[in-house]
Amino acid sequence: MSVLSVRDLSVVYGGPRPTHAVRGVSLELDRGEVLGIAGESGCGKSTLAYALTRLLRPPASVTGGEIVFRAGDGEEVDVLALRGEELRRFRWRRIAMVFQSAMNALNPVISVRRQLADVLATHEPGMSRRAREERCGELLDLVGIDRARLSSYPHELSGGMRQRVLIAMAMALNPDVVVLDEPTTALDVVVQREILQEIDRLRAMFGFAVVFITHDLSLLLEISDRLAVMYGGRIVESGTARDLMAAPAHPYTVGLLGSFPSLRGERRVLHGIPGSPPDLSLVEPGCSFAPRCPYAFDACGEVTPAPLPVGATTAACLQHDRTLRPAGPDPGLAARRFTAEDAGGLRPSRPPGDPEPGGHQTGVRDHGGART
Amino acid sequence: MGYLRRKIVFYAVALWAAVTLNFAIPRLIKGNPVDIMLARAAQGGQPMPAEARHALELQFGVSDDPLWQQYLGYVGNLLHGRLGLSVTYYPTPVSTVIAQSLPWTLGLAGVALLVTVVLGLGLGMLAGWRRGGAVDALIPATTFLAAIPYFWLALILLYVLGLGLGWFPLNGGYDYAGVQMGPTLAFAASVASHGALPALTVVASSVAGWMLGMRNMMVSTMAEDYVVMAEAKGLSPRRVMLAYAARNAVLPSVAGFAISLGFVVSGLLATEVVFAYPGIGFALLQGVQNADYPLMQGIFLIISLAVLGANLLVDLLYGVIDPRTRKA
């Protein structure tokens, strides 16, 4: 039974050139599991996190889809329909969040004590002052910070300590889901490791589910149960971490996996993915990865791929669509190679990066038509 | 405590420098009060005899003593509150002139500043919190008022509200003819009604600056992660606005408040002139017109003291509201 179900969620940043940051994303988060969401900067992963926690502010708005939260007793909550007081009470008790930069997520002029106690005071008004003080101390104990630090101000703590305080704060109400938005990006690898172990330990203790958002795919492979790879506002591939690592089906996942070294595996040549992320203000049919994809073919510019089960994972890639390619995917992709040369001389169907946003639609058709 | 001690030592040095400059500057200026008095008398057709000159020199403390002796005497006089005699109001001592006009200024400028700041920051906070809302729509109107030259705005309001509609008295600190000065309700009411219009003009012309500054700080503070986090924590909107957004957004305004607070004492020169209000600004204007150096010197000293005092106060206040400055 999943604790959080997301169906076809779309988020648009309004304005003269609306940006479609999240495009029809569907997710299931099971109780107590770690779901990793990986993707490069600007792929919409943080926007997705903000949508899950209902923190989007104008000009961003959810334009479609639904988010359903299921409490332990089976009660369902339509998260997007929550308003005012209901929403306020839902927040933090059900879904807590650890923000990207611990430097800025703590109020600089208020002591750690008051920032922790604030949560308890609003959500548990019946709690006595002494009980609150005790609970704040417990929370710091939980993440291995001296209770004396309750009186400290954020600027008196190190980056790692601040991140721990944020994690302690997320634990305050024993939430069902904790969303971690790049929680370790600003930390060095040693502290990063400690923080990850901390999160894992706490999860084992309290059993909350985790949505872990980062651009660091290697990190996610290590810590998450299931993984979703985002590109251009869509989830292009999802599956268990093990399956995704062993048998990636989407060219983008293949490319990402080929772009960082493995500590224990054999030596191999690393490849980047040439090109740059798509302009999210353009809405056009076709796969948004096609301009950078060595396996793109005619249909990629015309049909938006739907997620399909491919082996053990689910991928949104037309190469795996049997109706379009009865013979199966390109042998290069099947062999999980990324570069164009590996792909048997197949050139990208479109030049990487389109400098002129205007007239893009026709541009796609021209390219499609000019191909042999 | 280290913070407090450092601040107090700093301000003690600044105070000494201000006092010393106040001693030095008049001695660098050509002429002295006695020459001025004699010149005024001569204009009136009554040349003074030499003995009178000597008497005046004694009264105004003009001497050829070594500078250090004069300095010690000056500091000693200051400690006893003796600031010399006013030329304009001869033979009234400067300290008396200041003592009579200072309360008026403190009352009027202090109340006007407090109302301006509280109103400006409050409205600015709301405008920033609900960007594009009803309060935000007030900003063009208030900036328009601020753009009008102050004396002109004051004159228009005086003409319309005072002379035309008769809602407010036209000038003065209280009803000199009708009410006896003293701790009576009638006197207080008279002071309040005479001060209302001058205060109103000051508030109308200066509220925009505070409001705009606060609004913009509020908008940029609200984009900070800690405000988003406060919202994510499920705190009430009121608490997010006050303790997380406004609490941080107000910090730059506090420094501005320090500067304004210090200059409360220097009086609202234009206001006091337009409304013939018996404050320090009005006295200073008289002093300038009559080349009354002792009076100006005394007023400048009081102003420097007030500016220093206000800055010390705000420095201490800043230490309370922004923990990051305590260790600096």
Tokens 């234009």 identify what position? B270
A297 touches chain B (CB under 8 A): no
Residues of chain A with pLDDT under 50: 342-372
Tokens 């929550």 identify what position? A82
Structure confidence by residue, pLDDT tens digits, A281-305: 888 788 888 888 888 888 888 888 8
Phi, psi at A234, each rounded to 5°: -120, 155
One domain, residues B238 and B308: yes
Q: Which of B36, B53, B79 is the last residue of a domain?
A: B79
Q: Is residue B89 part of a domain?
A: no
Among residues A291, A254, A296, A289, the alpha carbon closest in space to that of A272 is found at A254
**pLDDT at position A209:** 92
**pLDDT at position A364:** 34
One domain, residues B52 and B119: no
**pLDDT at position B178:** 75
One domain, residues B236 and B270: yes
One domain, residues B6 and B124: no
* Cβ pairs bridging A and B (under 8 Å): 74
| Least CB–CB distance from B233: residue in A108, A119, A153 | A119
One domain, residues B266 and B127: yes
Map residue A61 onto helix, strand or coil: strand
Q: Is residue B84 part of a domain?
A: no
Confidence of residue B134 (pLDDT cuts 50, 70, 90): confident
Confidence of residue B118 (pLDDT cuts 50, 70, 90): very high
Q: Do B232 and A96 touch (CB under 8 A)?
A: yes
Percent of chain A with pLDDT strictly greater than 90:
23
One domain, residues B241 and B300: yes
**CATH number of the domain within which B204 lies:** 1.10.3720.10
**pLDDT at position B230:** 92
Structure confidence by residue, pLDDT tens digits, B78-102: 888 777 778 777 778 888 888 888 8
Confidence of residue B259 (pLDDT cuts 50, 70, 90): confident
By the 8 A CB rule, do A195 and A187 touch? yes
Token pair listed for A287: 């796969």
Phi, psi at B272, each rounded to 5°: -65, -30
**pLDDT at position A372:** 33
Confidence of residue B122 (pLDDT cuts 50, 70, 90): very high
Specify the number of domains making up chain B.
Answer: 2
Selected residue of A57, A94, A100, A107 to mutate for chain B interface (largest B Cβ count, 10 A): A107
Among residues A156, A160, A165, the alpha carbon closest in space to that of A136 is found at A165
By the 8 A CB rule, do A227 and A36 touch? yes
Q: Which of B49, B79, B109 is the last residue of a domain?
A: B79
By the 8 A CB rule, do A307 and A253 touch? no
By the 8 A CB rule, do A130 and A93 touch? no
One domain, residues B169 and B233: yes
Map residue A179 onto helix, strand or coil: strand
Query: A-chain residues within 8 Å CB-CB of B235?
Result: 88, 118-119, 122
By the 8 A CB rule, do B22 and B304 touch? yes
Give the residue numbers spanning the domain of B300: 96-325
One domain, residues B34 and B105: no
Q: Do A109 and B324 touch (CB under 8 A)?
A: yes
Structure confidence by residue, pLDDT tens digits, B31-73: 677 777 777 777 777 777 777 777 777 777 777 777 888 888 8
d(CA B198, CA B84) in angstroms, rounded, equals: 31
Q: Is residue B168 part of a domain?
A: yes
Q: Do B232 and A89 touch (CB under 8 A)?
A: no
Query: A-chain residues within 8 Å CB-CB of B248?
Result: 107-109
Which uninterrupted H or E stretch holds A245?
helix A241-246
Phi, psi at A235, each rounded to 5°: -90, 115
Structure confidence by residue, pLDDT tens digits, B177-220: 777 777 788 888 888 888 888 889 889 888 999 999 999 999 99
**pLDDT at position A248:** 87
Residue of B nearest to A118 (CA): B235
Residue of B nearest to A175 (CA): B233
Structure confidence by residue, pLDDT tens digits, B216-225: 999 999 988 8
One domain, residues B172 and B207: yes
**Regarding predicted confidence, which is higher, A339 or B296?**
B296
**pLDDT at position A264:** 67
Token pair listed for A102: 């611990």
One domain, residues B146 and B186: yes
Q: How does DSSP assign B234-279, residue by residue?
A: T--HHHIIIIIIIHHHTHHHHHHHHHHHHTTTT--HHHHHHTT--S
Token pair listed for B231: 């919202």
Q: Is residue B66 part of a domain?
A: yes
Query: B-chain residues within 8 Å CB-CB of A162?
Result: none
Q: Is residue B61 part of a domain?
A: yes
Selected residue of B227, B229, B236, B251 to mutate for chain A interface (largest A Cβ count, 10 A): B229
Q: Is residue B87 part of a domain?
A: no
**pLDDT at position B24:** 84
Residue B266 has pLDDT above 80, yes or no: no
Q: Do B239 and A122 touch (CB under 8 A)?
A: yes
One domain, residues B198 and B253: yes
Residue of A nearest to B249 (CA): A109
- Label residues A237-266 b or e (16+ Cβ within 10 Å = b): bbbebebbbeebbbbbbbbbbbeeeeeeee
Q: Is residue B274 part of a domain?
A: yes
Structure confidence by residue, pLDDT tens digits, A142-178: 888 899 999 999 989 988 889 889 989 998 898 999 9
| Least CB–CB distance from B225: residue in A105, A153, A155 | A105
Window from B29-33, B111-115, B272-276 with minimum mean pLDDT:
B29-33
Phi, psi at A328, each rounded to 5°: 95, 175
Structure confidence by residue, pLDDT tens digits, B137-150: 888 888 888 888 88
**pLDDT at position A348:** 43
Q: Which of B46, B79, B112 is the last residue of a domain?
A: B79
**pLDDT at position A238:** 92
* Residue A171 burial (10 A CB sphere; 0-12, 13-18, 19+): buried
One domain, residues B299 and B165: yes
Residue B120 has pLDDT above 90, yes or no: yes
- Tell me the shortest Cα–Cα distance from B226 to chain A, in angstroms: 4
Average pLDDT along chain B: 84
